[in-house]
Amino acid sequence: MVAGRRDWQCRAAMPVYWKIDSRRKLVTIVAEGDVTRAEIDSFLDVMDGVDCHDYRKLFDGAASETRMLPDDMLALGVRMRAMHKDRHALGALAIVVPDDKIELVSRVLGMLAVAERPMRVFSTLPLAEDWIERQSRA
């Protein structure tokens, strides 16, 4: 160890990870563990920053949980709807969640239905991957 050098501790990794593939026009998002509104807001900030709203999106939340309150879910839905309001082309969206979360996620997607793009909720990743690959790459 070098004198005066500190050992740096890394915080636990954020439970939301993403990969943006410009060749395939696909954003893959994986959520694991307890996901907070702040983490989803951070992801949405990135989407605005890189302006890839027209890319297809595959959100795998099969291994995630959330303790977000209904007000948090509503605020995220309102934010996403506002993001979509001024966009002309939006990529397809496939969401994978555990069976017990399908109804809740479907309600949030109902708020986003104003967006003219294909959207589906799945309980398994292979079905979602197959569906998203069949969607247009705009």
Query: Using only C-alpha atoms, what is the Rg of the chain?
Result: 17
Return the closest-CA partner of residue 15 out of 31, 29, 28: 31
Question: Quick count: other Cβ atoms within 10 Å of Cβ 10?
Answer: 5
Residue 87 pLDDT grade (very low, low, confident, very high; cuts 50, 70, 90): low
Taking the model in full, what pTM does it have?
0.80
pLDDT of the residue at 3: 45
Q: Which residue has the tokens 């004198």?
A: 3
Considering the domain 16-133 in this protein, what is its CATH number?
Answer: 3.30.750.24
120-129 tens-digit pLDDT: 889 999 999 9
Residue 74: pLDDT over 60: yes
Return the closest-CA partner of residue 65 out of 109, 10, 104, 108: 104
Which CA distances in Å does 116 have to 22, 76, 88, 113?
22, 18, 9, 7
34-67 tens-digit pLDDT: 888 999 898 888 888 888 888 999 999 999 888 8
pLDDT of the residue at 59: 94
Residue 6 pLDDT grade (very low, low, confident, very high; cuts 50, 70, 90): very low
Residue 100: pLDDT over 50: yes
